[in-house]
Copies of this chain bind each other. A is one copy, B any other.
Amino acid sequence: VSTLSWKGSIFLLTDFGNSDEFAGVLRAVAAREAPGARVVDISHEVPPFDVRVGALMLERSVPHMGPGVVVTVVDPGVGSDRRAVAMSVRSSDGPGFLVGPDNGVLSFATEVLGGADSAVVIPPARWRPDAGATFDGRDVFVPAAARLWSGVALAEIGTTIDPATLVRLPPPQLEVLPGELKAEVLWVDRFGNVQLAAGPSDFEVAGLGHQLWVSRSSSSTTPQAVNAHAAKASSSFDVGDSLGLITDSNARVALVRQQGSAATVLAVKEGDVVVITDRRPPS
């Protein structure tokens, strides 16, 4: 990683919410420590302590970022001995550095960006000797990101560690069988679209056709019909008025309804597993 001065953004993704001043204080500290940096809020509404949801949001976001440093704080272990880390990534496209707790929240994005090139543990810091260590976003992560943004070398930010020791989350659940596919629900978005841990090619491998049935894995309710021009459709308008499958904007397969919530119809939430089959259920 070059230590030459370079320009880019400081990106922020946290579970701090927008009601308290937490996110605002991060923005203020970034502005103070890196007065020339653009600060880009990705979101502060990761559900509290939900490392997996944060990791998935980050994975979906990094391909669209320009150069810069990404700070991700979803940190149920703040104040414990979990490590605070910063890493440079292999991809020369997009953000060059990721900063956050070493609890797996960075792991999916790291993989998207080609893996970690090198990594360091950031030492604790306190803004006042008498204040507690409960706000590492403000006291550790953003200050470290500001230094990286300013061109300070990664090795000067902390103690070098083997990137192979960085915590990784288990991969999303996906099982592809002939005529059947079981996939984790990765994301239910504001509009009720249900993103699955599967791509169009997984449907091809399973040999799934145009008329499918979907149900929640743990549910005993009757599977619902799905219009599966599916993995080939590219918008909810291609599936008409029924429940449909499309390839979404992250190149994953999603269950959708036209201007309606597929999640409500299916009664699924993030982390559930759905079963999709071409075998018509007994009626």
Contact = CB atoms under 8 A, between A and B. Distances in A.
A29 interface: yes
Interface in A131-178: 131-135, 138-139
A222 to B, nearest CB: 28
A13 to B, nearest CB: 7
A131 B28 contact: no
B61 A24 contact: yes
A63 B57 CA distance: 31
Contacts of A41: 24, 27
A188 to B, nearest CB: 9
A224 to B, nearest CB: 21
Interface stretch (A97-105, A114-122, A213-221, A245-253): A245-253
A66 B31 CA distance: 7
Given A9-B31, A64-B28, A21 B133 contact: no
Interface in A223-258: 233-238, 246-251
27 contacts: A7-B35, A19-B45, A20-B45, A20-B189, A21-B42, A21-B60, A22-B189, A22-B190, A24-B42, A25-B60, A27-B42, A28-B64, A28-B65, A32-B66, A48-B191, A49-B259, A63-B127, A64-B138, A79-B236, A79-B237, A127-B249, A130-B199, A131-B250, A132-B248, A134-B193, A134-B236, A139-B249
